[in-house]
Structure 1
């Protein structure tokens, strides 16, 4: 159990952000996992084997993770290149110190090929500039090959989670927000407690707390206590539906009611999506999708909001009821 103690000033300095770099880093841990949740993504990973060998050396499945690999985002939703530039700007001496700690960490260094991994890490400790350059290049290629194609859908899910958390904060304050963050997280009086494999207590000391939703953090919650600001990383709401592939609505009562294209669009919107992303998912022209979305929005079955330059759409409560009806009909038709 790790405990984070709040002071009066800390309660006013709780902020949110998500980080594409943090997604890239934690996705390496997801590759080592056996959970079925990310299995569809793992099946499509196209990252070079040499890059994966390097990345799995510095990003272990459990235990210590060097802080320089997950810099604190300066904005709520930074780009991947900006985050990678922050990693590249790491003081080489700091990188060497953290990699040396990793090389001697008993939990993180468990597993096959320990001697090879130890040799790689100690080599980076001696030449941290070279090690940083190799890590950055491998992360960049991994992102572009295996995560960037999914980023629009992931980003929409993260944005929706931030919007929900901000509503929780507005409705019930910091206490309500922190109590609903993750099954392993509790908040009592002035202390946030997180179930971990190790024991520790840290005072926030006026630094506040950064909350980071992260797709590949599942099922864990990750804690950082280092300066300049402690951070807690958790998985976002709706994650279980992220990799789902919707079946065709053709021939269903919902398709008879709405039309096949509109029923298909509604089926995709269990997580927020843009017109462009929907068009790609359904192999439809973007203007056609946009027309259908406007009709669905006027009917009250989808809602829209702006996220930066992008307009996102998601099912409303009425849309959820229609989709549940369609799913129940399909289950009955299959004999379920």
Structure 2
């Protein structure tokens, strides 16, 4: 059945893109229920299996049902491509208990006893720290790349063409944006008061919308490039610098123009964290990297000396 968003007046120009760390975290629970539907995420799913005994699996599994629905209160509409997880958690923490119970009973039936919202947030925060935080910079880069692509498509081909390119189930006819869904239980039409938000995701097969018509207008769609997310990326190797430092260390310097953790670098390059740490320690000891703690991670980036070396080498 379709959901129809009616663009009214200035809303024709009020289509915005946003990225939501919380949406990605919650929607990734689909892979808990049906990992076979996510073969492109197999490397991450293997790591998840090893981490399950350190997570509140009972609470996390209650946040998705066999139809792969998740509660609306856990996927609030993000405002910008720069949305922060802590801000989204604060918004969820303020959700009235009645709404939490209503949304979870939509998933599991009237007899379901919902966990306290504090337990839900604690379970999701632990899941984030263990399974998402090491990979989030790489994930965010993929999502931001999609947003950039869609914006360019609007400029070059128009709004209707952009909507048609989101997913086979999305189309724009006149002032109506229609999303066709598999479920016969979701069928509504509403104006896009306050605008329509488009959110790229790594965890939807096509396109999805809020279950309730009372929720702000939002379409979550499959981002481009998921197939490349877990591929090992070759290090760039500036020739003169590689001869001086070795190809791996020169490549790390070239990569660390933006801060990254050793765990993220290992995942990106397809090597062990131990191997990366050996190179990072040597480069930092030589004054070519600086480091700073960010939450539970240590982030590394090039020093000014390394910037000058790369400029001369390249």
TM-score (norm 2): 0.72
For each residue in 1:25-58, what CA deviation from the matched residue of structure 2 results, as whole angstroms up to 9, or x when unmatched? Answer: 0111123321311111011122446512221122
Q: Aligned partners of 2:310, 2:73: CA distance in 1, in Å?
A: 42
Aligned to 2:145: 160
Structure 1 window deviating more from structure 2 (2-11 vs 174-183): it is 2-11
Q: Is 2:49 aligned against 1:62?
A: no
Q: Is the 8 A contact 2:235 2:248 kept in 1?
A: no
Q: Is the 8 A contact 2:64 2:107 kept in 1?
A: no
For each residue in 1:178-235, what CA deviation from the matched residue of structure 2 results, as whole angstroms up to 9, or x when unmatched? Answer: 1111233222333333332124241225342110011223x23221254452111112
Structure 2: tracts of 5 or more residues without a match: 270-275, 284-300
SS class of match (1:86): helix
Aligned to 2:43: 40
Q: Is 2:193 aligned against 1:206?
A: yes
Q: Is the 8 A contact 2:190 2:213 kept in 1?
A: no
Question: How many residues are matched?
Answer: 266
Q: Aligned partners of 1:249, 1:166: CA distance in 2, in Å?
A: 29
- Taking only aligned residues, the RMSD between alpha carbons, in angstroms, comes to 3.3
Structure 1: tracts of 5 or more residues without a match: 106-117, 125-129, 299-336
Decide whether aligned partners of structure 1 residues 215 and 232 sit closer, same or farther in structure 2, where only a CA change above 3 A counts.
same
Q: Aligned partners of 1:70, 1:160: CA distance in 2, in Å?
A: 21
Structure 1 window deviating more from structure 2 (283-292 vs 141-150): it is 283-292
| Correspondence for 1:277 among 260, 265, 273 | 260
Aligned to 1:23: 24
Q: Aligned partners of 1:59, 1:28: CA distance in 2, in Å?
A: 7
Structure 1 window deviating more from structure 2 (194-203 vs 163-172): it is 194-203
Q: Is 2:163 aligned against 1:145?
A: no
